[in-house]
């Protein structure tokens, strides 16, 4: 009888617990399939980005543009960090993998006609993680 009296309290306690979404699994050990999955999902981007994220951008307010490096916590980032394939196509942005080693990779999204260029730097430990964005846009 005592067990039956405890049942509503136990159910209420379980229902009051916050639900935590499981982090996505690493999309791939190989960089190009990883990057494809990373570009298509804000959830994957959030899970596989190093925080705070290093971000280098050009300050065009001076006579000669200079690079400024900032460290951005997750709360200051706007996802998606990088455009999906459909968005890149719509915005006439090209994509290339510049370099891949066993534990580092660099990819660039660009449009030479508009002076748009962003480089994305990844490091691999258990999975690839974005660690730096360099916005070289003019």
Task: Measure the CA–CA gap between 64 and 57, rounded to whole angstroms.
Answer: 13
- Full-prediction pTM beyond 0.85? no
Convert the pLDDT of each residue in 1-50 to its tens digit: 444 444 444 434 333 444 456 778 999 999 999 999 999 999 999 999 99
Cβ-proximal residues to 7 (8 Å cutoff; 6+ apart), any chain: none
3-state secondary structure 22-70: CCCCCCCCCHHHHHHHHHHCHHHHHHCEEEEEEEEEEECCCCCCEEEEE
Q: How many CB atoms within 10 Å of residue 85? A: 12
Q: Is 113:19 a contact under the CB 8 Å cutoff?
A: no
pLDDT at 132 over 80: yes
Q: What is the pLDDT of residues 78-89, one digit of tens each?
A: 999 999 999 999
């Amino acid at each position: 009888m005592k067990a039956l009296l405890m049942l509503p309290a136990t159910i209420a306690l379980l229902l009051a617990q916050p639900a935590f979404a499981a982090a996505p699994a690493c999309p791939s050990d190989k960089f190009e399939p990883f990057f494809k999955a990373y570009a298509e999902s804000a959830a994957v981007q959030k899970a596989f980005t190093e925080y705070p994220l290093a971000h280098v951008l050009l300050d065009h307010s001076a006579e000669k543009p200079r690079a400024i490096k900032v460290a951005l916590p997750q709360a200051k980032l706007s996802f998606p960090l990088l455009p999906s394939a459909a968005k890149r196509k719509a915005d006439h942005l090209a994509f290339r993998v510049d370099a891949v080693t066993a534990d580092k990779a660099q990819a660039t999204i660009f449009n030479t006609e508009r002076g748009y260029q962003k480089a994305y730097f990844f490091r691999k430990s258990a999975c690839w993680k974005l660690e730096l964005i360099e916005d070289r846009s003019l």
